[in-house]
Structure 1
Amino acid sequence: MSHSSSAESPETLPIPKMKFWTKMAFGAGDLGTAMTVNILVFFLLFFLTTVAGLPPGLAASVPMVGKIWDAVNDPIIGVLSDRTRHPWGRRYPWMVFGAIPFGLFFFLLWIVPSTDTWVQFWYYVLIAIAFHTAYTAVNLPYATLTPDLTRDYNERTTLNGFRFSFSLGGSIFSLILAQIIFAMFPDDPGLKYMILGLVCSLVAVPPIFWCVLGTRARVAEVQAATGEEDEPTTLPLSEQVKIAFSNRPFLFVIGIYLFSWLAVQLTASILQYFVVYCMDLPEATFPQVAIAVQGTALVALFPWSRVSERYGRRAVYLMGMGLWIIAQAGLFFLRPGQVGLMYILAIIAGLGVSTAYLVPWSMITDVIDYDELNTGERREGIFYSFMVLLQKMGLAIGIFLVGKALDIAGFVESVSGQEIAQQPDSALLAIRIAIGPLPTVMLIIGIILTYFYPITRQYHEEILLQLQERKREREA
């Protein structure tokens, strides 16, 4: 599945093609983090309101606080990783030492520590903060490896295809696990969520070590071919922030990513409520619907990569978002009994979700090259961290507003052992708005930003040529 560096010839960038197993190892680094995030997005709010028994407004505050802290620690860990000096390089120590805490704190999120509402709330807030710190320590340095592994425009898209194949594969696997575990323990909601958290924790940690061991040699190979070393950046944080937000293509990318993932994760957060309360289906049906979305997204990744090679990332994103908007709008009008149509819309949505995974993360590597041309330094950590920071801030506020809207609309919470409560019409309408019109508006904004994104394939080729010329001048 490797692609030749057609845009950057061997005379320009004499970097060997990436081996298949290196791509596999890199992709594996996103398996465990995707599993945990997928379980959190799909199940945490539902778990807090129907198992722990927290009111929707208070329950929504837990992921909001966790995500806000996650957003705050992103630039901190991004800058620290940029400045790390270690025999393993800047990124790998964070992944290695953060892996075990990452798994442990995820498991602790699925324990009901008390029947007291405020004890529960503060327990979940503290564990969420600890988990998101460990998650960032692992995932942010991992994400910044992409430009260290290849400089080729098409190979980066393919590499991200491997990454998100593992990401979506992990997401699907976590849903299959949920379906199996829920079927084994149908009468004990608290136990089934705790076992799900434990199994996912045990599965999520080992792939992080596989990624470290499988990609280190490639990073060294690229450094040797380009004459670059994995040196910490020397610019102060304030200057880095100023340069990052004066980078016009970067502003487009974070906007595209923000609105794409607001649509993804808001839909994921409300989907279980939609299946159970609006479609009158058993809770066990929900993982099947989510698998239909993410399974389609997984299958579509590499066809979309091929389309991107021919027509460019912008065209791929616009096509994917157009399909996704059709699906989101259709969900609003869906009624109980239209189960077949629900699955058809889930498949159409999956085609769009696939491009939301693939395109923004491929664009950010171009932004890093553009910044290096303007500043003379590569600061992957600061760009990745601020990209994710703004996305998480927006997501935290979005999920909180959904929870508050359910609260205001009169959503009736329940606790473990109780039957699912009957919801008033106002709560059902709030769920439908959250799954239809809101994500649709976000996707339209993302389309507008993508249309005006300034770095085309040809412009990126010019950037790389100028960087190579600058390197020759320094050597001379």
Structure 2
Amino acid sequence: MDVNLGATRLPARSKIFFGIGQGAEGLKNDAFTIFLTPYYVLVLGLPPLMAASATAIALVFDAISDPIAGVMSDHFKSRWGRRHPFMYASAFPMGLCHFLLFAPPVLITGADSEWMLFGWLLTFTVLTRGATTLYHVPHLALTAELSDNYDTRTTLTGLRGMFGWLGGLTSAFFGWVYFLAPTEEYPIGQLNPDAYPMFAAFAGCGMVLLILISSWGTHDRIPYLKPPPKPASWRMMWGTYVDMWRAVRLLPSFALLIGVVLFSVAQFRIAQAMTWPMNTYFWEFTTTQIGLFVLVYVFSAILALVLARGFSGLFEKRTVFLTMGIIWCLATPLAIVLRLMGLLPENGTIELFFIICLSILVVATMGIGQNYLVDSMMADVTDEYELHTGERREGLFYSARAFLGKTGAALGMLVTGLLLELLGIPKQAEPGSLSEDTLFWMGIFDGPLVAVIALCGVLLVIWYPISRARHAEIKRLIAERYGDGNPPEGGGDDSGGDGGEKTSLPATR
């Protein structure tokens, strides 16, 4: 069946249901990057290097599973299409494995053997990531399949990014404010080992629910999606690594985006992984104050969506990304540097709390906006690949995108583990107990170092070659190849309009 994506307008409800699905990974990501390593290292007492090694081994597993999942979903054939069967199948394993990761039995936590705790961490990190891959790669590939329209894809990636952030922020908010709230036994709530299993159960149930809602909500779009080219084989699955390399050599745009994603996600995950120790020891905020920061992030996610959508409609995506990236690199280390210079109010003051709120607003808005734009640019690269090869390989490109995202997340956890090893923060350490030197180097890692890593990725966008005009030309040439002399019209715009982009959310991408 030949399907012209541009022939059918994409309803607003489909866009929203598609975006909702990213909330599941958002719940998982914030739990992983903010809480997992500190929980095992600072609460349970696993040596930091062992925790870091577990994340590195899980990364090797991801290197194998992501491309395979992409090829399988590219070529899978069923009456439910090629993406949705994997999305449905991933829901319950993802939620269950996430819960078990944060709920090691007393037999393990009470044992003298650190290797038993390491084995539990490794096993369920791998299983949770594997279930996430089963969902995330096909869901990500739908970005390019639901619409071939330049601006509508930005809307889809914007909504997906916004719901991803809202899912992550929900995880962080309830984690800090409710589950890790101080108790009589644990006045420093984040040091309470009994709170983490309940927190993980909450997040796991949310993952299952969001995946099923998104899969059901986009199920009616299956007849409009392109069918698989041919069944996948094991040779084809392993050959996807060769295909990725060929795509890098064929498309400079893809090679550049690989660098952009790797640097941007790595710095973001490092900064996010440092949230727990920075807020606890460097800034000495309470869990309630840390939870209130989440409200700033929620506003930032919505503001970033509005700004990215609005400015990318006026300027090229690469221009908007570059501008947001430069602002991010300047704003990220500012508060930390001012604190190290002694120019900020003392810890525990309301003035410091509001200054950090303002810093978070600027940094988060720029960072989230960049993430929206990268995913939208990746969708355009899949069209360029089809022009050169005649094949639709969304799964290939988005499995690469997913792998890079997980690489960055794993690097963030790895760096956090190594940093805690270097800083020598003891198990169950309370705020105010660390030396000035320890706090100084903690700030350097989370501020200037992260900004330098981010800048490397931001500057690569200068050479990104797909402009709005180039993308329109690509669509025209693809349409001519399939015997349609006209380019697809409005691929994926909302119904109920006169050619204009309309959604139920104002100024979305």
TM-score, structure 2 as length reference? 0.84
Query: 1:229 is matched with which residue?
Result: 227
Asked if structure 1 preserves the Cα contact closer than 8 Å seen for 2:262 and 2:407, the reply is no
Secondary structure, counterpart of 2:333 in structure 1: helix
Asked if structure 1 preserves the Cα contact closer than 8 Å seen for 2:266 and 2:407, the reply is no
- The more displaced of 463-472 and 55-64 is 55-64
Residues 473 and 280 (structure 1 numbering): CA distance in 2 closer, same or farther, change over 3 Å? Answer: closer
What letter matches 1:80 in structure 2? M
Asked if structure 2 preserves the Cα contact closer than 8 Å seen for 1:29 and 1:207, the reply is yes
| Residues 228-377 of structure 1 mapped to structure 2, 5 A cutoff | 228-232=226-230, 236-237=239-240, 239-246=242-249, 247-335=251-339, 336-337=346-347, 338-377=352-391
Is 1:193 equivalent to 2:196 in the alignment? yes
Secondary structure, counterpart of 2:77 in structure 1: coil
Segments of structure 2 that go 5 or more residues without pairing to the other structure are 187-191, 340-345, 486-509
Query: 2:48 is matched with which residue?
Result: 56
Cα distance in 2 for residues equivalent to 1:169 and 1:157 = 18
Residues 306 and 186 (structure 1 numbering): CA distance in 2 closer, same or farther, change over 3 Å? Answer: farther
Per-residue CA deviations over 1:209-243 (Å, capped at 9, x if unaligned) read 2222221322423x4xxxx5343477653552342
Cα distance in 2 for residues equivalent to 1:448 and 1:52 = 40
Query: 2:472 is matched with which residue?
Result: 461
Cα distance in 1 for residues equivalent to 2:16 and 2:244 = 33
Asked if structure 2 preserves the Cα contact closer than 8 Å seen for 1:107 and 1:194, the reply is yes
Asked if structure 1 preserves the Cα contact closer than 8 Å seen for 2:86 and 2:134, the reply is yes
Cα distance in 2 for residues equivalent to 1:278 and 1:218 = 49
| Residues 155-174 of structure 1 mapped to structure 2, 5 A cutoff | 155-174=152-171
Asked if structure 1 preserves the Cα contact closer than 8 Å seen for 2:270 and 2:415, the reply is no
1:142 CA displacement:
0.5
Which of 61, 66, 73 aligns to 2:58? It is 66
Secondary structure, counterpart of 2:38 in structure 1: helix
Cα distance in 1 for residues equivalent to 2:265 and 2:404 = 11
Asked if structure 2 preserves the Cα contact closer than 8 Å seen for 1:148 and 1:219, the reply is no
| Residues 369-388 of structure 1 mapped to structure 2, 5 A cutoff | 369-388=383-402
What letter matches 1:22 in structure 2? S
Asked if structure 1 preserves the Cα contact closer than 8 Å seen for 2:66 and 2:133, the reply is yes
What letter matches 1:389 in structure 2? F
Cα distance in 1 for residues equivalent to 2:181 and 2:104 = 20
Residues 239 and 193 (structure 1 numbering): CA distance in 2 closer, same or farther, change over 3 Å? Answer: closer
- The more displaced of 59-68 and 93-102 is 59-68
Asked if structure 2 preserves the Cα contact closer than 8 Å seen for 1:72 and 1:389, the reply is no
Residues 380 and 185 (structure 1 numbering): CA distance in 2 closer, same or farther, change over 3 Å? Answer: farther
Asked if structure 2 preserves the Cα contact closer than 8 Å seen for 1:96 and 1:208, the reply is yes
Which of 217, 220, 226 aligns to 1:217? It is 220
Which of 102, 114, 131 aligns to 1:110? It is 102
What letter matches 1:243 in structure 2? R
Is 1:413 equivalent to 2:419 in the alignment? no
Which of 77, 83, 94 aligns to 2:86? It is 94
Asked if structure 1 preserves the Cα contact closer than 8 Å seen for 2:18 and 2:160, the reply is yes
Query: 2:505 is matched with which residue?
Result: none
1:181 CA displacement:
2.2
Query: 1:37 is matched with which residue?
Result: 29
RMSD between aligned residues: 2.3
Asked if structure 1 preserves the Cα contact closer than 8 Å seen for 2:166 and 2:301, the reply is no
Cα distance in 1 for residues equivalent to 2:294 and 2:442 = 17
Query: 1:446 is matched with which residue?
Result: 457
| Residues 417-432 of structure 1 mapped to structure 2, 5 A cutoff | 419=430, 422-432=433-443
Cα distance in 2 for residues equivalent to 1:84 and 1:16 = 23
Per-residue CA deviations over 1:70-100 (Å, capped at 9, x if unaligned) read 2331112112222222221111111111110
Query: 1:16 is matched with which residue?
Result: 8
Asked if structure 1 preserves the Cα contact closer than 8 Å seen for 2:93 and 2:131, the reply is yes
Cα distance in 2 for residues equivalent to 1:290 and 1:60 = 27
Cα distance in 2 for residues equivalent to 1:186 and 1:270 = 27
Residues 392 and 171 (structure 1 numbering): CA distance in 2 closer, same or farther, change over 3 Å? Answer: closer
Asked if structure 1 preserves the Cα contact closer than 8 Å seen for 2:50 and 2:118, the reply is yes
1:413 CA displacement:
2.5
Aligned residues: 456
Secondary structure, counterpart of 1:156 in structure 2: helix
Is 1:437 equivalent to 2:438 in the alignment? no
- The more displaced of 234-243 and 395-404 is 234-243
Cα distance in 2 for residues equivalent to 1:321 and 1:409 = 30
1:295 CA displacement:
3.5
1:274 CA displacement:
1.0
Cα distance in 1 for residues equivalent to 2:288 and 2:46 = 22
Cα distance in 1 for residues equivalent to 2:439 and 2:337 = 12
What letter matches 2:218 in structure 1? T
Cα distance in 1 for residues equivalent to 2:174 and 2:359 = 23
Per-residue CA deviations over 1:17-54 (Å, capped at 9, x if unaligned) read 21111111101111111111112111111211222111
Cα distance in 2 for residues equivalent to 1:43 and 1:202 = 18
Cα distance in 2 for residues equivalent to 1:20 and 1:215 = 11
Residues 466 and 43 (structure 1 numbering): CA distance in 2 closer, same or farther, change over 3 Å? Answer: same
1:155 CA displacement:
0.5
1:442 CA displacement:
1.9
